[in-house]
C-alpha cells in the first residue's frame, strides 16, 4: 500500500484513528469563511462555439422546476414509520446495519427496536443535512465557475446551475425543517474538501472538485437513496434533484475534456492527485461519526462495526460508480504512469471504469420533461 501522508495527512487511507481524529471544531458556528483569490474573467467573445454546451444550456432552460409548487409538500411523513418501512423493503439495509453481524460484547448487544429506530431517524437527519451542506458548497462553487471560466457558453450554462443549486439547498432545508426532526452540522471531511475546492484559484480545479467529484458522488448517493426510500415526497424530491445533477456532471465532463488536452503532464498529475484526495475525503464522510456521538455510543467501536456490515463494501463502492467512468473519459485514469488507476484500484472502485459516463446520461434522467409529457 502506498504512503499518502503528503496528500491526505496520513500514510494509510484506512487508518481509522486518523480518520476519526478529524472533527468539526466549528459545529456551533453560523458563518464559515474560506479565503480565496481567483481572477474574475470577462469574455468579449460571444460566439457560440461549443455545440455540446449550447445543447446542455438549452436543456437546462427547459428543465427548471419550482421546489415550492412541483413537490407534494402536503405529504405526511412519520419518520419512525419510514424507518421501519425502509428496513422491511430493503431487508434491513437502510440503517439497520446490525443484520448479519455478531453484536455480542458491543454497545449494541442490548439494543432493541427502540434504539434501532432511533438510529434510523438520526441517520435520516444526518444524511439529509449533509446533502444540504454539500448543495450549498455546489452553489458557491458554481457561482465561482460563472466568474472564472473563460468561455461564454460555460458562463451561460453555469448561471443555470447556480439557480439549480439554490433550489436544491432550499428543498433539502425545507424537508429537514418540516418533515424530519433535526439538523446536523457539516461533516468535517466534507467541509475540508469544500474548503480545498473553494480556496483553489484555478477555475478547472473548481470544476474537477465540484462538478466531477462532489456532484458525481452526490448523483450516485441520491440514486441509492431514491431506490431505498419508501417515502413518496423524498423519492420525488430526489428524482428531480438527480435530473439536475446529471446535467451538472455532464457540464464538468464536457468542459474539462477540452481543457485537459492543453495541460502538461505535471499539471495533469496535480489533477489526478486532487481527484484522489477528493475521493478519500468523500468516502471518509460516510462513516456518520456524528450520529454515534449524538447517540452516546463509542464512535470507534461503532464505526468498526459499520465497516464490517455485509452491504457496506457494496454501498461504499457504488458511490464511485459515476466518478470513475467520468475520470476515465477525462483521461485522468491512465495519464502519465496510470497513477490514478492505481489509486482507484487501492480504493476498490476501479471496476466502474467502463460504466456509462454522464456526458449524455442527463437526457435519461430528465424527470421534469417526463412529468410535463405525462401532464
Reported as a single tens digit per residue, the pLDDT across 315-366 is 778 889 989 999 999 999 999 899 999 999 999 899 999 987 766 666 677 7
pLDDT at 100: 64
Q: What is the DSSP string of 317-338?
A: HHTTTTHHHHHHHTTTTTSTTT
What sign has the CA pseudo-torsion 150, 151, 155, 157? negative
Tens of pLDDT, residue by residue over 16-39, are 888 888 888 888 888 999 888 899
Q: How far is CA 332 from the centre of its chain?
A: 20
Q: Is 95 inside any structural domain? A: no
Band (pLDDT 50/70/90 cuts) for residue 166 is: very high
Q: Which domain holds residue 118?
A: 111-374
What sign has the CA pseudo-torsion 212, 213, 214, 216? positive
Tens of pLDDT, residue by residue over 282-295, are 988 888 999 999 99
Query: Is the Cβ–Cβ distance between 260 and 351 less than 8 Å?
Result: no
Tell me what the mean pLDDT of segment 243-263 comes to: 93
Q: Is 36 inside any structural domain? A: no
- What is the distance between the alpha carbons of residues 260 and 270, in angstroms, rounded to a whole number? 12
Q: Is 281 inside any structural domain? A: yes
pLDDT at 11: 86
pLDDT at 359: 62
DSSP 352: G
The residue among 10 and 339 whose pLDDT is bigger is 339
| Long-range contacts, stretch 155-162, CB < 8 angstroms, 24+ apart | 155/43, 156/53, 156/57, 157/53, 157/56, 157/57, 157/60, 157/251, 158/251, 160/57, 160/60, 160/61, 160/64, 161/60, 161/244, 161/247, 161/248, 161/251
Q: How far is CA 374 from the centre of its chain?
A: 30
Q: Is 43 inside any structural domain? A: no
- What is the distance between the alpha carbons of residues 331 and 327, in angstroms, rounded to a whole number? 6
Check which CATH number belongs to the domain holding 135 and give it.
Answer: 1.20.1260.10
Q: Is 160 inside any structural domain? A: yes
DSSP-H helix ranges across the chain: 5-8, 16-20, 51-62, 79-89, 113-148, 152-178, 188-199, 203-206, 215-228, 232-260, 265-285, 289-294, 299-308, 312-318, 323-329, 339-347, 367-374
pLDDT at 96: 52
pLDDT at 94: 41
- The domain tally of the chain equals 1
Average pLDDT, the chain: 89
Query: Is the Cβ–Cβ distance between 352 and 216 less than 8 Å?
Result: no
Q: Is 203 inside any structural domain? A: yes
Tell me what the mean pLDDT of segment 240-250 comes to: 93
Q: Is 150 inside any structural domain? A: yes
Band (pLDDT 50/70/90 cuts) for residue 1 is: low
The residue among 143 and 364 whose pLDDT is bigger is 143
- What is the distance between the alpha carbons of residues 296 and 66, in angstroms, rounded to a whole number? 40
Tens of pLDDT, residue by residue over 329-338, are 999 999 989 9
Band (pLDDT 50/70/90 cuts) for residue 130 is: very high
The residue among 93 and 10 whose pLDDT is bigger is 10
For residue 140, count other CB atoms closer than 10 A to its CB: 17
Q: Is the pLDDT of residue 97 over 70?
A: no
Band (pLDDT 50/70/90 cuts) for residue 375 is: very low
Assessment of whether the complete model's pTM goes beyond 0.75: yes
Name residue, grid cell 446529471. 246
Tell me what the mean pLDDT of segment 50-68 comes to: 94
For residue 134, count other CB atoms closer than 10 A to its CB: 27
Q: Is 66 inside any structural domain? A: no
Burial class (CB in 10 A: 0-12, 13-18, 19+), 15: middle
Amino acid at each position: 500500500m502506498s504512503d499518502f501522508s503528503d496528500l491526505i495527512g496520513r500514510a494509510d487511507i484506512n487508518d481509522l484513528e486518523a480518520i476519526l481524529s478529524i472533527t468539526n471544531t466549528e459545529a456551533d458556528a453560523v458563518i464559515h469563511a474560506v479565503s480565496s483569490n481567483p481572477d474574475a474573467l470577462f469574455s468579449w467573445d460571444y460566439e457560440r462555439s461549443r455545440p455540446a454546451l449550447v445543447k446542455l444550456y438549452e436543456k437546462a432552460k427547459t428543465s427548471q422546476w419550482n421546489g415550492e409548487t412541483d413537490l407534494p409538500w402536503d405529504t405526511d411523513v412519520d419518520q419512525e414509520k419510514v424507518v421501519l418501512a425502509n428496513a422491511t423493503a430493503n431487508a434491513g439495509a437502510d440503517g439497520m446495519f446490525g443484520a448479519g453481524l455478531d453484536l455480542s460484547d458491543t454497545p449494541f448487544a442490548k439494543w432493541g427496536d427502540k434504539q434501532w429506530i432511533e438510529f434510523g431517524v438520526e441517520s435520516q437527519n444526518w444524511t439529509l443535512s449533509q446533502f444540504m451542506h454539500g448543495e450549498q458548497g455546489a452553489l458557491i462553487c458554481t457561482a465561482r465557475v460563472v466568474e472564472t471560466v473563460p468561455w461564454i457558453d460555460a458562463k451561460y450554462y453555469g448561471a443555470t446551475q447556480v439557480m439549480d443549486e439554490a433550489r436544491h439547498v432550499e428543498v433539502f432545508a425545507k424537508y429537514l425543517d418540516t418533515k424530519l426532526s433535526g439538523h446536523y452540522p457539516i461533516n468535517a471531511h466534507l467541509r475540508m474538501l469544500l474548503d480545498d475546492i473553494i480556496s483553489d484559484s484555478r477555475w478547472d480545479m473548481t470544476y474537477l472538485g465540484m462538478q466531477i467529484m462532489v456532484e458525481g458522488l452526490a448523483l450516485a448517493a441520491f440514486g441509492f437513496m431514491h431506490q431505498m426510500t419508501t417515502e413518496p415526497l423524498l423519492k420525488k424530491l430526489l428524482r428531480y434533484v438527480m435530473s439536475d445533477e446529471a446535467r451538472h456532471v455532464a457540464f464538468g465532463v464536457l468542459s474539462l475534456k477540452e481543457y485537459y488536452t492543453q495541460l502538461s503532464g505535471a499539471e495533469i498529475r496535480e489533477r489526478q492527485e486532487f481527484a484522489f484526495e477528493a475521493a478519500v475525503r468523500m468516502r471518509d464522510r460516510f462513516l456518520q461519526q456524528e450520529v454515534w456521538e449524538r447517540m452516546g455510543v463509542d464512535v470507534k467501536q461503532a464505526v468498526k462495526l459499520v465497516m464490517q456490515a455485509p452491504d457496506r463494501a457494496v454501498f461504499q463502492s457504488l458511490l464511485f460508480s459515476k466518478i470513475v467512468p467520468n475520470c476515465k473519459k477525462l483521461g485522468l485514469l491512465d495519464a502519465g504512469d496510470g497513477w490514478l488507476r492505481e489509486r482507484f484500484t487501492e480504493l476498490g472502485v476501479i471496476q466502474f471504469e467502463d460504466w456509462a459516463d454522464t456526458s449524455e446520461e442527463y437526457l435519461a434522467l430528465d424527470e421534469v420533461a417526463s412529468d410535463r409529457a405525462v401532464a
